Structure 1
Amino acid sequence: MNATLHTIDGRSVLRFERRLAHPVEKVWRAVTDPEQMAHWFPAIVEMDLRPGGRIRYTYPAGDAAPDEGEVIELDPPRVFALTWNGAALRMELTPDGSGTRLVFTHTFADRPMAGSFATGWDTCLGALEKTLAGPVEGSLIRPERYAERHDAYVAAFGLGEGTFHAGSGTIRFERMLPHPAGQVWPALTRTGEAAAPAIGDPPPLPATNAYVPAGALTAIRAEELLEYTWLRDGAPAGRVRWELTGGHPAGTRVVLTQTGLAGEPATALAAWHTQLEVFADHLRGVTHRPWPKDRTEELAAHYAERAEAR
């Protein structure tokens, strides 16, 4: 893990810096020649290599539709910048003794995707190093331990943080889980162990925690939505809502909300934050028993301090 995450002009910027044991001219060919890019870049590239030149990306695995980009900066053999999938990529090469210092940045809008992007580029840049060491054939991208590395980036970048909107009394978390919805949904609802839950039933245990008393299920759509009331003094006070969006190569996007809160609910924020960490670990085969109470207390203090700082 050597990526850092920044915010510049309201957009998220991932930055990698690597020293490559090859001269600048060789690295330049590897990052601009479509035949060499095929070994390390996550798409097949057809490119008019000039400022303003069009780029076409195709994905042999069929997990995404073809798309187009543009060369936005070209200063051989120092700077190559392009657009890809609605984002901007920039590669800056600097001589470093007999080798090259590469600074690679990815500028994008969808911050919850930062863990996925960082893990992906970490893998791709490793493949670039193997390409330079050559000779090689085919793609060298091998996303080993992807989920573990992804979740480590989520923690390092603070992507597990929740927010509280006082005006609406709503807690909100949004994060990517590096697993398909067909795996996330059964883990959330325990449909592999019993019949699918129905409206009016108690919510499945993985969707609840002891800090937020649960009522009954109010809405359910397989692999998309699980909603239930939560209770205050035994009466419905608001709703907890798990929304899943799958069908993405990076996994499943989860938006978790709790409505009907007042004040600064540091304990509820901490509980849901812990729950999402526990759930992500569970999906990777890591089980927490009992509930990590110390982690919840640590996070409650964190959210209380954050509220005081505002």
Structure 2
Amino acid sequence: MDSRRGSVFGTEDGRVAIRFVRLVPHPPEQVWRAITDPAQLAEWFPAVVELDRPAGSELFFGVTEQQRQRFGMADDPAGTPNGRMLRNEPPSVLEYEWAGEILTWKITGTAGGSRLVFTNVLTDPEAGAPAAAGWEAGLEVVEAQLDGKPVTWNPLDRAEELAALYTG
């Protein structure tokens, strides 16, 4: 399965989750860097965060420069942790909590590269469609980075374009 669209579904505990599966022709170690390296994250991830932390570590997810400019968002001046690293097992499992949501990245080696499965369990059931559009746009950037292609689009603009696919 390598559908471009993420699936939005209910969880057993009544929350909403989004799952994306990508088959990429790159080794797990390279995919791992794409989802953890601060320079690569800066191109697509919706926060500034240092993910190279052991399980149990507190995390601070800060506002990106683009979020400041576009939406007038601001960081917590105290830098109070708003997340926690749950699992950090390079290059196969990365799982963390961010403001009550759980984000899980699983990378499995395949004969032709890697299978990346990303799941985001949301705290707000109404956020499923916009979050899915945002993650899809981000994953498009990850795939371009892995393929060595220039990113010639803005992920926030792309998420707005994709939003209609997840509503309705």
TM-score normalized by the length of structure 1: 0.45
Q: Give yes or no for the alignment of 1:152 onto 2:168.
A: no
Which one of the candidate residues 54, 60, 74 is aligned to 2:88? 74
Distance 1:145 1:12 in 2: 19
Matching of residue 125 in structure 1 with residue 129 in structure 2: no
Moved more, 112-121 or 68-77: 68-77
Going from structure 1 to structure 2, the CA distance change for 1:71 and 1:140 (only over 3 Å counts) comes to: farther
CA deviation profile, 1:226-267 (whole Å, cap 9, x unmatched): xxxxxxxxxxxxxxxxxxxxxxxxxxxxxxxxxxxxxxxxxx
Considering only aligned residues, what root-mean-square deviation do their CA atoms show, in Å? 2.4
| SS at structure 1 position matched to 2:49 | strand
Kindly indicate whether structure 1 or structure 2 has the higher relative contact order, using CA contacts under 8 Å at least 6 residues apart.
2
Look up the match of 1:104.
118
> 1:40·1:131 contact (CA, 8 Å) conserved in 2?
no
TM-score, structure 2 length as denominator?
0.80
- Could you tell me which amino acid in structure 2 is paired with residue 17 of structure 1? V
Question: What pairs up with 1:164-183 in 2 under 5 angstroms?
Answer: none
Confirm or deny that 1:54 pairs with 2:58.
Answer: yes
What do residues 210-233 of structure 1 show as CA deviations (whole Å, max 9, x unaligned)?
Answer: xxxxxxxxxxxxxxxxxxxxxxxx
Shift in alpha-carbon separation, 1:19–1:70, aligned structure 2, 3 A: same
Give distance in 1, aligned partners of 2:53 and 2:154. 23
Q: Given residue 121 of structure 1, which amino acid in structure 2 is its aligned partner?
A: W
Residue deviations 1:10-68, cap 9 Å, x none?
11111110111211111111112222211221122234521012222222131334363
Match status 1:2 vs 2:5: yes
Is residue 28–residue 114 contact of structure 2 (8 Å, CA) maintained in 1?
Answer: yes
CA distance in 2, matches of 1:145, 1:43: 15
In structure 2, the CA distance between the partners of 1:102 and 1:46, relative to structure 1 (3 Å rule), is same
**Structure 2 gap ranges (5+):** 76-80
Q: Aligned partners of 1:13 and 1:86: how far apart in 2? A: 13
2:105 aligned with 1:94: no
Pair 1:37–1:140, CA change in 2 (3 A):
farther
Question: Which protein has the bigger strand share?
Answer: 1
**Cα offset, 1:151, TM superposition:** 2.6
User: Closer, same or farther in 2 for the Cα pair 1:7/1:19, shift >3 Å?
Assistant: same
For the 8 Å contact 1:30–1:36, the answer to whether it is kept is yes
| Cα deviation, residue 130, structure 1 | 1.2
Q: CA deviation at 1:135?
A: 7.0
Following the alignment from structure 1 to structure 2, what is the Cα–Cα distance between the partners of residues 105 and 145?
A: 17
- Counterpart of 1:85, as a letter, is A
Q: Distance in 2 between matches of 1:69 and 1:145?
A: 24
Distance 1:65 1:75, change over 3 A: same
The count of residues paired between Structure 1 and Structure 2 equals: 154
2:40 corresponding residue in structure 1: 36
Against the structure 1 CA distance between its residues 15 and 145, is the aligned structure 2 distance closer, same or farther, given a 3 Å change threshold? closer
Aligned pairs for 1:153-302 within 5 A: 153-155=166-168
Cα distance in structure 2, aligned partners of 1:145 and 1:76: 28
Instruction: Tell me the percent identity.
Output: 33
What residue ranges of structure 1 are gaps of 5+ in the alignment? 156-310
